[in-house]
Amino acid sequence: LRTSPLFLSPQDLYTAPDSCEGRCREPYNPEDECHCNAECERHHNCCEDYYRHCREEGFSSSRDAITDEDLLQVSEQLYKADHNKARPTDIAINPQYQASPDETDDQEDRSPLPLYKYVNEELFSKPTYASFIKLLDNYQRATGREEEVTAKELREQDNFLREVMKTELMKKLFAFLHKKNRYGSEQEFLADLKEMWFGLYSRGDGEQDSSGFEHVFSGEVKKGKVSGFHNWIRFYLLEKQGSVNYFSHNFEGPWDTYPDVLGLQFSWDGFYKEVGSAFIGSSPEFEFGLYTLCFIARPGRGCHLSLGGYSLSIQTYPWTKSTYGNGKKYIATAYVISS
């Protein structure tokens, strides 16, 4: 009996580590880059093509998928629920020079005046703002330096999470994620928020020196450049102190009210940020909620939303070098990528 040789293509011999093809219901392995088992949606660590290959199996069904249309609808709900955002009379900004794409990295200050002409600081007495601001001085901005988290700082984290979860905005976000089978209870959601945002990981040489919250909201300095730092309140407070110098902006959102969006060039004690995109005038819970939504729904990809009828996209990235719980990913960064 003669047998013809069997030729296998590389695809037949090799399952890509970032794909669910041929891996549906595969047992959990912490060494896997992403997962295809029944629990991966709950732990938001599924491979990007999970729905394509496994959607009718195990944990997920098609009704649990977060569709592009779902994101447009829920982001409009969150936009309408941002009752703590600035009113048009609360903030006056002076954007001055608009930089072209080839000018954003030249570190030239083309705006002689501060960005913020006026902010009504009564906003900062609202509970979510006050608890948010208390978190901002809890971090050493240089990567590679171990963060020491005190009992007081842990209480401040818990207080901020408690305050944001009291808001209609975060309750709507939880209701959406609960309906989509991502969380069984508000307590589970709260515990996961604390880990994904405040859990420490290493951007340096093994030191627990960073977290999603520090990177996105407080800002870091890595290799002589500003890293992260996408929050308007932090920017305003440091500009008022004289440690942030506004240089220019390269895009501005279409809104005639708040929250608006701005792409900024600035220096922080001499360290430069080429494009620091930020919402302007939004409440802390609005940014926190939108970034969380996009991290859970579209980690590592553009997350397309609708705010007041305008299109907007957010980019998030998971931290891939360490995990928590059952292989869950920390937030590496989150920011607005379009106006």
Catalytic residues, which ones? 215, 230, 273
DSSP labels for 60-114?
A: --GGGS--HHHHHHHHHHHHHT-TTSPPTTTEEE---PBPPGGGTTS------S-
Go through 116-138 and write b for each residue having 16 or more CB atoms within 10 A of its CB, e for each that does not: beebeeebeebbbbebbbbbbeb
Q: Are 137 and 213 in contact (CB under 8 A)?
A: no
Any idea which residue has 């070098």 for tokens?
321
Number of CB atoms found within 10 A of residue 328's CB: 17
What is d(CA 313, CA 280) in angstroms, rounded to the nearest whole number? Answer: 15
Number of CB atoms found within 10 A of residue 161's CB: 19
Q: Which helix (H) or strand (E) holds 167?
A: none
Q: Would you state the structure tokens that stand for residue 146, as one six-digit string?
A: 């171990």
Cα 138 from chain centre? 19
Q: Map residue 142 onto helix, strand or coil.
A: strand
What is d(CA 106, CA 250) in angstroms, rounded to the nearest whole number? Answer: 13
Q: Would you state the structure tokens that stand for residue 280, as one six-digit string?
A: 């302007």
Beta bridge partners of 337: none
Radius of gyration of the chain (CA): 22
Q: Map residue 28 onto helix, strand or coil.
A: coil
- The distance between the two most distant Cα atoms of the chain, rounded to a whole number of Å, is 88
Sign of CA dihedral 174, 176, 181, 182: negative
